Structures are given as structure tokens and as C-alpha cells.
Structure 1
Amino acid sequence: MDAAFLRLESEALERIALLELIACACVTDRYITTGVQDAEVSCETASRHRTSLTDRLPDGIRRVLGDARSPALARDLLGAGALRVFVDADALQRRCELIERQWRDQDLLRAFVERQASIPVIRRFFRTATRATITQLRAELNVAAPTKPRALSRSGMDQLFDAWARLKEIGDLRERYLALHEQCDGRWSLATLFAALDADAGDRHPSSSHQESDHVRHAT
């Protein structure tokens, strides 16, 4: 047996597998006995089982499991080790890794919303995030939309770039910006941090508007 397949030592699962096989074999037995054509069978589940499982079982197994006496043989079949349940560890690992990445993206998205990143910035790093999703998260987190990016003083800009440089080992830009926000003790929103790091000195304009910016230039 391939090492990628891990056996689940569970009599309960083995019993369930046996009952499933018996049910499939009984359906196939009735199908063969009555001579009903496949196109005339209305049970979608039964049709799926015939083509995907029982058709691949040897005739002897189908005859015994399809017999009305087969449920009484469960103890004997299980005791013989005929039913064993395995898990494809490689396939399961790939799926779990994908789920973990999705969870991480969800956590980062919530952190961006909570720290008042603008919608354009969020959409840049989370391309599947819709305006409706962002609005819903803001409501759940009780976070207001960010004001337009603030213009920082020269000393503030120097401190910001120094802090950004110290975080260069963080490969994921999303995590790097969150770390920067933390280092700045949350004095500025993520919208302001993005604009400050990306804008040229002549492009920074202070604003007292409380409307969310329609466009924020993005750091690269």
C-alpha cells in the first residue's frame, strides 16, 4: 500500500463502508433482476453507485452482498479484515494547505479593514474582495471608512521610511504593512501609510474630507 494512504483504524467507519457496499449491491441486484434499462432508472444516487462502485466489484462480492442475508454477515466480514478505510494523505494535505491559505487571506483582509485601509488598496491585495464584502466587514468590526490620506511631516516621513526598511525581511507585503502599522502604534490608518510610502513629495496633499478616497496610490 502506498505510504500516502493512511489507514483509519475505526471499526465504526468500516461498518459504515460495509453497509454502503451492501446497499449498492442490493440496488445493482434489483437492477439486473428486473432488467430495467439505465435510462429508465429515476434514482440518481443508485445510477451513480452502479457506475462508480459496484460495477468495479467482482461478481461474487455483488452476489453475496446483494443477498438479503448479507447484513447478518457483517461481523464475519469485518473480522476477516475485508473492510479497511484509507485516506489519501497527499490529496488531503493539498486541500488543507489551500484552506489554510484561504483562512490566512480572510484574517489579513479583516486586519486591513480593521486598520482602515481604503477600498482601492484592499482590492489591490485581495482581488476577490468586493465593495459589499468590505462594507459588511466594516459593519461587523464597527470600523469607519478611512478619511483621505494625511500628509505627514518631514520627520514623520523619515521615521516611517526607517520603520519600513527595518521590515524588509517580511516577504508578504500585506503582512509588512500590518507590521508597519503596529510599529507606528496605530497613529495613522493604513490608507495614510500606503499613500505616504508611495507618493512623491509634490503629490501629497492634506485633506480634511471625511469621505473615503476614491483613489489611493499603492506602494510597490
Structure 2
Amino acid sequence: MAKILAVDDDAAILRLVRKMLSIKKHEVTTLQSIKDITIEELNKYNLILLDVMMPDEDGFKICEKIRSLIDIPIIFMTAKSDESSIIKGLSIGGDDYIVKPFSIHEVNARIEAHLRREARPKKGTKSVFIDGDILIDLEAKKVMIKGEEVSFTKTQYKICELLALHKGKIFSKEDIYESVYSIESDSQISTVVEHIRVIRKKIAQFNLAPISTVWGVGYIWE
């Protein structure tokens, strides 16, 4: 059994998809819009079925926004049958493209094929930290917020990684300094405060504030 998310503004299509996949014992979630779902929630699914022509934001734009943040199959299921649309859908990160009206048997077969492929042992799986709309790529040393890369200095990134990976733990300025600065560093402990200020300011642009001050003690990623 797999967890599958189907996104389509047509309620009748969603009812059909739910009925079709429930027969295969899959757990199906249907949404008419994806605007209120977080990256963390998306990563809980095994596969996404995505319509293209939707009023809020079309499926191509959604795919471009989330493709670098999730590592699961995205299958477009749309009435756009022209060759240029199919090529675009596959080139921006779609794993498959099914044209409406579709055969239930064909959709099931393609879904099962992708799920089998995902079940194979993976080599070199990317290591990431995800907290809501914030994704930290631990290999590339990058921070992505709501699909957009945020530029941090090397030291600022190290502070983000330290606090995020120890979510819920309080770090004093001294703790942070000792963890992110080299022994040979000439920087002062007071620079930690300025780095935290800059980090918060950059994250606040996305209306997020994961780093809190514990007065008299230090900082915590909540």
C-alpha cells in the first residue's frame, strides 16, 4: 500500500481517482489546490498525481516549485495532449504524463510501475532536513525556503544546520561559537549574535521564524 496525493480542480476526477486507487488498497488524499500544503507534508507521500490546468496555479508551475524539494514520482494527468506540453511536463521534472480521458487500467499500471521502481534500493540518497517549508540540503550545504534558495555565508549556514538538526535544544553563544568556528579563528563570540540576526532577517522574508531567543541562555530552533 502506498500513500498517493491526487491534485485536480475537478471533483469528479478526484472521486474517480480515489475509487480507482482504493481498489488497489492505496491510501489516497485528494486536493483541489496545493497552495496550503507544506513541503514536509508532501514528502510523506509516495507519489503525486498532478493536473496541469488549474485556476490557482497550474501543475507545471507547481512541479517546478517542488521538484527540487521532493524525491517522489510526479505524474501529470491532464487534458493537454499537444506534444509541446508533454515535452515540457517531462523536462521540468515530471516522471510520467497521462492524457485525459484516460484508461483506468493504464493509470493503475503506470502508478504500480513507478511505485515498484521507487521500492528498489537507492544508492547515494540525498540527505536533507525538512521542517515545514524549510529544507536544508546537508550534502550541497544549501537552504531552501518555499522552493527558493536562500543565500547564507558559510558560517551562517553552519549555524542554521547546527540549530535545525538539534531542533528543540538550546545553544548558548559559546556553544554555537565552539561548534561552527575553527580553533584558529580570530572571530569574537559576539559575532554569533550578528549572524543570528542576519539569519533571522533572511528567513523572516518568508514569514517564518524558527529561531527563538531564550533570554539569558541562548538560541533554539523550534
Is TM-score (shorter-chain normalized) higher than 0.5?
no
More helix by share: 1
TM-score, normalisation: structure 1: 0.29
Bigger Cα Rg = 1
- Higher relative contact order, chain-length normalized (CA < 8 Å, sep 6+): 1
More strand by share: 2
